[in-house]
Structure 1
Amino acid sequence: MPHPSTTGPVHRLVPAPAGRIHLVEQGSGPLVLLVHGFPESWYSWRRQLPALAAAGYRAVALDVRGYGRSSRPAAADAYRMVELVADSAAVVEALGERSAVIVGHDWGATIAATSALLRPDLFRAVGLLSVPYTPPGGPKPSEAFAALGGPGAEQEFYVSYFQEPGRAEAEIEPDVRGWLAGFYAALSGDTMPPPGAPDPHFVTAGGRLRDRFPAGRLPSWLTEEDLDVYAGEFERTGLTGALNRYRNMDRDWADLAGHHGAALTQPSLFAGGTLDASTTWLSDAIDAFPVTLPGLSATHLLDGCGHWIQQERPEETNRILTDWLADLPA
């Protein structure tokens, strides 16, 4: 009988508060839960699952609520952070485990961090990719993001653009595949717009987000077949469940008010790309890690890498993760 680490990934559905969570697992050993961001799926971890399995871990990548084959509740407030933390906990329990290491990318990093904050009994360590930890608190998110457009509101930050139900969907859903290709290219190290070009994180008044996307070339990490996988999922599910994550930021701010300024005390890791706006704009959050992440083992900034770190630099990311996991307390 082959060792579990040498067999392919296995798809499963497990019960969760919203109904079901779809996950893909490979390997055996301590549980490592992998949480994707926007607009992605479990497939974003396709290069990590076999590497973690080969290193002796039970690697599990899930479809976040609203994505893929996981349940997609109709209510917008079903996508608040506390609900996603409940899903993370439900997956660990459904798999018969008592604890897990949780690793997230993009929104998944925030889900992972909040899961570790609210359920330290289940999540013994936390790895964050691309989006650094910022403790709950600060100004109300909707007000902070609205101010990013600048005087006169000549342009609008993408998070604000995503707030109104149906608005971004009307742009994306007529051409899901083309929109995703442009969005991925806009934030990839090898295809993002050059310095001085219009920033693809902003929408011109009366325009569309995709107006600033690069056209005609896929990032080196994204094959036509990979794009087919992502597009096929969103063509089937629509984008509302994914976009509803952005529409709950003010609710999250209120829900987590009791944790204002809270540090994550578990062992932690951060890795990001030097060309990623998430690391450059949030450099103050990285500088604050000695206070906010007292259990941090290392910060890795990959030169020339954009936002999609585990797909742009899979071998480096796998090495960073497996070295960190090997050093964690049992």
Structure 2
Amino acid sequence: MIQPDPSTVRFAGPWTHRDIHANGIRFHVVETATAPPDAPLVVLLHGFADFWWSWRHQLTALSAAGYRAVAVDLRGYGDTDKPPRGYDGWTLAGDVVGLIRALGYGQATLVGHADGGLVCWATAALHPRMVTSIGLVGSPHPIALRRAVLKNKAQRRALLPFFLRYQVPLVPERTLTKAGGDAVEQLFRSRTSPSWQGTEEFADASTHMRSAIRIAGAAHCALEYQRWAFRSQFRSDGRRFMQAMDEELKIPVLQIRGELDPYVLARTVEGDARWAPRRRLHTVLGAGHYAHQEAPDEVTEQLKELL
């Protein structure tokens, strides 16, 4: 099967595609030209098996509101470089810090979905001077998530089978990419609201995700995030990372969760308050795990309030 070229994620639209070098690799980023050059910076970070397109609605809306919104293909995804290593929490936080500096800023608001949200938590804890606030969609604090998996049978049942399935070599990569990326669409479908699945928006998003995960190396790199997150729990580097994350954030935190999210449960995100006392929790009624795509206007308004 022919693999898509990385440039296929550079969709035309009211935005500009750029290559930014940071933390030793090249990142593909997307931004509009409507925001003033001195506008506050907002960095948008996508989740597992996704890419910058996940934030298409917020990218344009936040820019129109006067912010410099920049959507990123994370390390290993889309048209960003795919190095063989660097999928640990420290390096991923370093990627974001490098991007902020390469864009000419000293700090930024970070907004992330799922794995991208975990990068937000890590960057805010490890580099607090670089982060003014964070917005999270379906992404609990990593310590809260670990505790929920250990203590909450429902959360363990929702999350652990995927983590375990992804630990073996080669097979998960083949599963994600075979049949034109059908497994990614099934994953997407299983975590979104039934009412949204019949829309043209869902069809377009799933088609783009299926193509992006089949870019050479993308599936392997996506799985490396999951593999490090799981395996590091049994190693000294994972224990050091969790110790570093066990810090109370002084910045504003917005936690958004879809009411129907079957992957990150309500009780899990409720535990975030211990590490983010200035956290505000917002539930998007009728939405699943991808609230920023399922209810983009509502999520954008919440982000504007955070900003």
> Does the alignment reach a TM-score above 0.5?
yes
Deviation at 1:290, TM superposition (A): 3.6
- SS of the residue corresponding to residue 79 of structure 1 reads coil
Separation of aligned partners in 2, 1:18 and 1:182: 34
Deviation at 1:60, TM superposition (A): 0.4
Distance 1:11 1:255, change over 3 A: farther
| Equivalent AA in structure 1 for residue 14 of structure 2 | G
What stretches of structure 1 of length at least 5 have no aligned partner? 1-6, 193-217, 326-330
1:256 corresponds to 2:256: no
* 1:68 and 2:72 aligned: no
Number of the residue aligned with 1:312: 294
The answer for the alignment partner of 2:255 in structure 1 is: 270
Structure 1 residues 260 and 179, CA gap change in structure 2 (3 angstroms) = closer
Matches within 5 A, 1:173-322: 173-190=177-194, 218-220=197-199, 222-237=201-216, 238-249=218-229, 250-251=231-232, 253-259=238-244, 261-280=246-265, 283-286=267-270, 288-296=271-279, 298-322=280-304
Q: 1:121 aligns with which of 129, 134, 149?
A: 129
Aligned to 1:36: 46
Q: Partner of 2:93: helix, strand, or coil?
A: helix
- Report deviation, 1:292: 1.7
Q: Which amino acid aligns with 1:299?
A: L
* Distance 1:107-1:125 versus aligned 2 partners, 3 A rule: same
Q: Which residue number in structure 2 is paired with residue 24 of structure 1?
A: 30
**2-structure distance, mates of 1:294, 1:122:** 19
The 1:137/1:273 distance shift into structure 2, 3 A limit, reads closer
Distance 1:220 1:64 in 2: 27
Determine the C-alpha separation between the residues in 2 that align with 1:117 and 1:187: 28
Classify the secondary structure of the residue corresponding to 1:275: coil
1:98 — aligned with what? Answer: 106
Q: Distance in 2 between matches of 1:156 and 1:294?
A: 28
Q: 1:224 to 1:284 in 2, by over 3 A?
A: closer
In structure 2, relative to structure 1, the CA distance for the partners of 1:87 and 1:191 (3 Å cut) is: same
CA distances 1:73-107 after superposition (whole Å, capped 9, x unpaired):
123xx211111111101110100111100010111
Rounded Cα–Cα distance in structure 2 between residues aligned with 1:130 and 1:236: 25
Q: Which amino acid aligns with 1:33?
A: V
Query: Contact 1:102/1:127 (CA < 8 Å) preserved in 2?
Result: yes
Give the length in aligned residue pairs. Answer: 284
Instruction: Supply the distance in 2 between the matched residues of 1:50 and 1:13 (Cα, whole angstroms).
Output: 19
Give 2:164's aligned residue. 160
Partner secondary structure for residue 101 of structure 1: strand
1:149 and 1:227 mapped to 2: Cα distance?
25
Matches for 1:107-146 after TM superposition, within 5 Å: 107-135=115-143
Q: Distance in 2 between matches of 1:174 and 1:284?
A: 33
Cα distance between partner residues in 2 of 1:49 and 1:260: 28
Based on CA coordinates, which of the two structures has the bigger radius of gyration? Answer: 1
Q: 1:41, 1:284 → 2: CA distance?
A: 25
CA RMSD of aligned residues (A): 2.9
Cα deviation for residue 221 of structure 1 reads 6.1
Per-residue deviation, 1:137: 9.7
Q: In 2 relative to 1, CA 21–30 (structure 1 residues): closer, same or farther, beyond 3 Å?
A: same
| Cα deviations by residue, 1:153-205 (Å, 9 ceiling, x for unpaired) | xx97111101112121122222233222211111011169xxxxxxxxxxxxx
Letter in 2 for 1:170: R
Label 1:43 to 1:221 Cα distance change in 2 as closer, same or farther (>3 A): same
Quick one: distance in 1 between partners of 2:56 and 2:128?
A: 27
Instruction: Assess if the C-alpha contact under 8 Å between 1:130 and 1:273 holds in 2.
Output: yes
Contact 1:269 1:299 in 2 (8 A): yes
Alpha-carbon separation, structure 2, partners of 1:162 and 1:236: 18
Query: What CA distance in whole angstroms lies between the structure 2 residues aligned with 1:117 and 1:13?
Result: 27
- Cα distance in 1 for partners of 2:77, 2:145 equals 28
Structure with higher helix content: 2
User: Alpha carbons of 1:18 and 1:174: their partners in 2 closer, same or farther (altered >3 Å)?
Assistant: farther
> After TM superposition, where is structure 1 displaced by more than 4 Å over at least 4 residues in a row?
136-139, 147-150
Task: Tell whether 2:15 aligns with 1:9.
Answer: yes
Shift of 1:253: 2.2
Question: Does 2:88 align with 1:80?
Answer: yes
